[in-house]
Structure 1
């Protein structure tokens, strides 16, 4: 009944490097005086800031660091993660609220599962006969349950490793869309292709990993070597996980594959898809732009000045 994701060592090192780069970029934005004080605007512009930091002011990979300015949107001021001694992607940072919420929810569900003597797991697990009888909620609830503490710890470590980076790049709304799509697609594939009952968040986590791969694949021409290295590490991590999964009869491989397909598809459709315009602004133009980052007023404004200018906020549609 166990779905888990292991072998995160190689990828974790690269994501740690990305975390440090994001931290430096956000500090430069604060020092430039253009960064918004509201945590929401920081989160909304995070992915574009990563893209600008990697591609540089000319839009070519490794061409030097840009200094994109974000508009000061006002709102309630909150202490920065650096003032509290935390990095921008450490637990409790406003840039990873969805990730932290899922970590807390998974732990809470495990406590409730223990308190109910596993009655909660029986009520919410992926059991094909129950789903066929109309209990369709199991397609989602099974992704928030775990078979034991080790299963929970493995998946929580993976979520804490990958989640903040996907959330920073894509924003909270798209992060949750990818996570839930991976969970539903993984459980649906398992329901259709294997009779074994299952629980666990790993289908959703494979969806997050696929979304990270889609981001770097989509921007490989702009990000150059850095995109290539991340794709290599993601591929290695996938190979390790699939080898481990195939070697264990307790792993739901169809759930993992379905989660990857669901996460990749949603990420490809919803983005982000960044392009640098001739005036230095960055546009987010995925096939379905309903959650795309948008500039104030709904149109790109070159008035913020110069190459590397960045005026992106969360879309309202």
Structure 2
């Protein structure tokens, strides 16, 4: 995409990009819904696994201070916080009459030359329509809750950020089209789920393995459908989705979790044990 010189010309082209992105996201809503319906299968078995098989040993709870009480009441998880942030920012997009969208969306490769590096991250919080927002937030809540349950808050945020940034970079260099939306970061969570499934097959109770297999199969089908739709629909950012998936998978592979059995306990031993979990009781 070429950019004319001058702030007025640049603003005009940014508005054009914003309009294109809104139209693109509206026309592809049905296709995205089909893909996410398929991807939703991947979390059903994993949620049971994560919530019932990786519980830490009981310990007395410490009293919460004021800030912790606010966070516990209104921001129970990083997933909920991200969903809330996306919803609030979409409201601001509407109130600003797309001025916020123009300032934060991912446009062409020229953003690096102009020093607008923030767009690589902020575009993941912009959405083109209410339908686009609702579909992405449903997917983020479903998949994110699972990933956060066995990865922890900090590691979940690292995976989400890695997926979002690599999604934006891949899209930036491989397609000139403008883009907004959290789908690249969400694909990063899908990549993390796949890494977890493949890494832990055979590590837990025998009844867990079929759930992991089903989750992996559904995840691969979802990825295949997403890429297939992108091949036949120019308005879907295939490169962004693929980049996000790879970014999240790479972050999960490096940071974990990677649980290994030691007697009746599981120890988290990822390649980079920076955010490793405490040992967990195996049930």
Instruction: Give the match for residue 230 of structure 1.
Output: 215
Paired residues of 2:46 and 2:211 also in contact (CA < 8 A): no
Q: Any unmatched runs of 5+ in structure 1?
A: 26-48, 51-67, 78-90, 301-306, 310-317
Q: Any unmatched runs of 5+ in structure 2?
A: 1-20, 65-72
Normalising by structure 2, what TM-score? 0.78
Taking a change above 3 Å as real, the CA distance of residues 11 and 259 of structure 1, as seen in their structure-2 partners, is closer
Alignment size in residue pairs? 242
* Alpha-carbon distance in 1 for matches of 2:201, 2:278: 22
Structure 1 position 250, deviation (Å): 1.1
- Give 1:197-236 correspondences, 5 Å limit: 197-223=178-204, 224-236=209-221
Normalising by structure 1, what TM-score? 0.70
Q: Which residue of 70, 76, 92 maps to 2:57?
A: 70
* Alpha-carbon distance in 2 for matches of 1:17, 1:147: 32
Taking a change above 3 Å as real, the CA distance of residues 21 and 93 of structure 1, as seen in their structure-2 partners, is farther
Paired residues of 1:131 and 1:138 also in contact (CA < 8 A): no
Calculate the aligned-residue CA RMSD, in Å. 2.4
* Alpha-carbon distance in 1 for matches of 2:230, 2:210: 30
* Alpha-carbon distance in 2 for matches of 1:230, 1:93: 28
- Give 1:1-317 correspondences, 5 Å limit: 1=21, 5-6=32-33, 7-20=35-48, 25=52, 49-50=53-54, 70-76=57-63, 94=76, 97-128=77-108, 129-223=110-204, 224-278=209-263, 280-295=264-279, 308=282
Is the partner of 2:203 in helix, strand or coil? Answer: helix
* Alpha-carbon distance in 2 for matches of 1:18, 1:264: 16
Structure 1 position 92, deviation (Å): 7.3
Q: Which has the higher helix share?
A: 2
